[in-house]
Structure 1
Amino acid sequence: MLLPSTTRRAFLSASAACVLGASTPCSFSLPVGIPLGLQLYSCRVALARDYAGTLQQVSAAGYREVEAAGFFGHTAGEVKTMMASAGLRCIGGHYPLVDLLKAPDETIAFAKEAGLSCLICASPSTPDPARPAAYPGGAWQYLLHQMTADDWKWNAEQFNRLGEKVKAAGLRFGYHNHTPEFRDLGGGQKGYDILLANTEPSLVTFELDCGWAAASGQDAAAILRRYSHRISLLHLKDLKPAPAGTEPSSRHSTILGQGVVDYAPILAAAKAANIRQAFIEQEEFDGPVFEALKEDLVNARKMMA
């Protein structure tokens, strides 16, 4: 829900290809009992320059749990060592579906060795990858505007298959939304609902990005209430105001509590849902990244007090 207002996929694909509070030492949890961490896409530029040093900065900003978005050419052993050295626990990682389908066994093995507990698919695909690749503007534009109900059903089938493999390895598999999932396919049908209806609950969990849901005109609190048995992870992202008619995927994020996303009903719904973990994510910054990430954490804790 939004308060009244006065190419991520390319990054994930490139970095996946490379692999195939304050400063106190405690872990922060929300008063509702949900551990609070950071999605490392927030500091992707710094990670590309200095992975180990950036993890230390994340820790100094007060975070103890993180979710990866690429490993920047480091081995699983190196990732595990650098995370431990920074006092961080990497809960999971984001991967494009095309990469998961290319090398599922290798990806799962990497995740296990690195100490992850969850693999999250963060962008869908199609049965024929050449189709989106040939679309004007590229594959992401196709995913934003041309996905069909059959495409989403095909994705659900792939998620179930991957979920079986991941579960057999002792890990969890899930899906993270952006904005394409909420595009009206006709008659009010949406890709998000198709995915929920066609995936096996024991094999596929969902990570709701509340910011992208709000950008798409969706009520994230209502989604949480409807799918409380399926959604176990959250992304907390605030958005800058934007003119009416702005393309949802073009919205810019800001420091939590300074934007237009109304988190009060979302967090109330999260309290009653089966949420295991929430991750702060800020994708754009007007000032120093880590000062903003510190403020994100402080504000998130206030919002949940």
Structure 2
Amino acid sequence: MKKLLLVTAFFIGAVTSNCCAQKGKPLFTAPIGVQSYTYRNSFPTGVAATLDTIKALGITEMEGPNPKNTSPEEFKRMLDERGITMPSLGADYGAITKDPEQFIKLAKTFGCKYIMVAWIPHGKTFTIDDAKKAAEDFNRVGKVLAESGITLCYHDHGYEFGPYEDGTLFDYIVKNTDPKYVSFEMDMLWTFHGGGDPVKLLYKYKDRWKLMHLKDIRKGIANDLTGGTDTRNDVALGTGQIDVSKVLKAAKAIGIKHYFIEDESPNHAAQIPVTIAYIKSLEE
């Protein structure tokens, strides 16, 4: 973990020294957040040390939940000690549709306002029947969460952009879920990888997006509807295929407040400081 801290410090210094002096108004002014899954391999070696690394990066928000073998109460205490809040947490589709109350309890422990679901179970191809069932489940579960002051968000994953009628299956899900109970979290990488246009979709459904995952995909990787790609294709923002500046301008314009870096790459320790320096360098 000491090595991880040293690598982090080195890259922060290197990137900062190489960035051009900012002349205009900064584009990204929101708190910097991270998805806890990014550190899935670090938490088992030391939760406190991993959180210290996260804090050293200037990250003040996390999308949870807690890592394995650390209770929600203990993890909340550790986050509080480091000034890190948890506005949102992830939930498994099957688990939350079966028992939403357990996630409401968890969200209240952390003070979360949002619960996101990042995957809809389906076969080799995501179908209209999958979309219809998901919309029904999201409306039902979203109503239960809303009664406790929590917003359900579906996190798109790329496979939903298959064609349907005059749009896509993602369009179907948005149009057939109740805005009172169901909102959305955009994952930049998966939206792009599935053939969606992140900027156009942000404006198209501007009242539905509440959260965002900050991710970029390696240049040369072709789009598809699998909802998956090698984790090594996750790259630092500004080094991949996505026009990050345009996406962040649209996200800011429609009022997204919480942004979480999610870097699934085995090289995330080196890449996250580059991502942070890059978004800080962007101007309006």
Please report the TM-score for the alignment, with normalisation by the length of structure 1.
0.77
CA contact (8 A) 1:182 1:192 kept: yes
Residue from 202, 210, 229 that aligns with 2:207? 229
Once the 2 structures are TM-superposed, how far is the Cα of residue 34 of structure 1 from its aligned partner? 3.4
Matched, 1:60 2:38: no
CA distance in 1, matches of 2:147, 2:153: 14
With over 3 angstroms needed to count, the CA separation of the structure-2 counterparts of 1:240 and 1:167, relative to structure 1, is same
Q: Which runs of 5+ in 1 are unaligned?
A: 1-21, 23-29, 126-131, 133-141
CA distance in 1, matches of 2:66, 2:126: 25
Residue from 181, 186, 208 that aligns with 2:160? 181
Matched, 1:112 2:108: yes
Once the 2 structures are TM-superposed, how far is the Cα of residue 241 of structure 1 from its aligned partner? 1.7
Aligned-partner SS, 1:99: helix
CA contact (8 A) 1:92 1:119 kept: yes
1:236-270 Cα offsets, whole Å, 9 max, x none, are: 11111235466662151111111111123212222
CA contact (8 A) 1:267 1:304 kept: no
CA contact (8 A) 1:94 1:122 kept: yes
Once the 2 structures are TM-superposed, how far is the Cα of residue 150 of structure 1 from its aligned partner? 2.1
Aligned equivalent of 1:277: 258
Aligned-partner SS, 2:116: strand
Aligned equivalent of 2:171: 193
CA distance in 1, matches of 2:83, 2:222: 43
CA contact (8 A) 1:58 1:290 kept: no
1:5-43 Cα offsets, whole Å, 9 max, x none, are: xxxxxxxxxxxxxxxxx7xxxxxxx74653331112211
Aligned-partner SS, 1:249: coil
CA distance in 1, matches of 2:41, 2:243: 29
Matched, 1:300 2:284: no
1:83-121 Cα offsets, whole Å, 9 max, x none, are: 112221111111121111232111211221122221111
Aligned equivalent of 1:152: 131
Q: Which runs of 5+ in 2 are unaligned?
A: 1-11, 13-25
CA distance in 1, matches of 2:236, 2:131: 32
Please report the TM-score for the alignment, with normalisation by the length of structure 2.
0.83
CA contact (8 A) 2:33 2:259 kept: yes
With over 3 angstroms needed to count, the CA separation of the structure-2 counterparts of 1:177 and 1:70, relative to structure 1, is farther
Aligned-partner SS, 1:94: strand
1:173-223 Cα offsets, whole Å, 9 max, x none, are: 111111111123x44542211110111111111101111111122211000
Identity over aligned residues, as a percent?
28
CA distance in 2, matches of 1:39, 1:104: 21
1:132-183 Cα offsets, whole Å, 9 max, x none, are: 5xxxxxxxxx2xx322212211111111111111111122211111111112
With over 3 angstroms needed to count, the CA separation of the structure-2 counterparts of 1:72 and 1:36, relative to structure 1, is same
Residue from 264, 281, 292 that aligns with 2:245? 264
CA contact (8 A) 2:191 2:198 kept: yes
CA contact (8 A) 1:76 1:111 kept: no
With over 3 angstroms needed to count, the CA separation of the structure-2 counterparts of 1:51 and 1:188, relative to structure 1, is farther
Aligned-partner SS, 2:241: coil
CA contact (8 A) 1:285 1:292 kept: no
CA contact (8 A) 1:95 1:123 kept: no
Q: CA RMSD in A?
A: 2.2
CA distance in 2, matches of 1:243, 1:195: 27
Aligned equivalent of 2:190: 212
Once the 2 structures are TM-superposed, how far is the Cα of residue 71 of structure 1 from its aligned partner? 3.0
CA distance in 1, matches of 2:88, 2:27: 23
With over 3 angstroms needed to count, the CA separation of the structure-2 counterparts of 1:260 and 1:101, relative to structure 1, is same
Once the 2 structures are TM-superposed, how far is the Cα of residue 59 of structure 1 from its aligned partner? 0.6
CA distance in 2, matches of 1:107, 1:304: 38
CA contact (8 A) 1:70 1:94 kept: no
Aligned length: 258
CA distance in 2, matches of 1:159, 1:82: 32
1:43-65 Cα offsets, whole Å, 9 max, x none, are: 11102332232112111111011
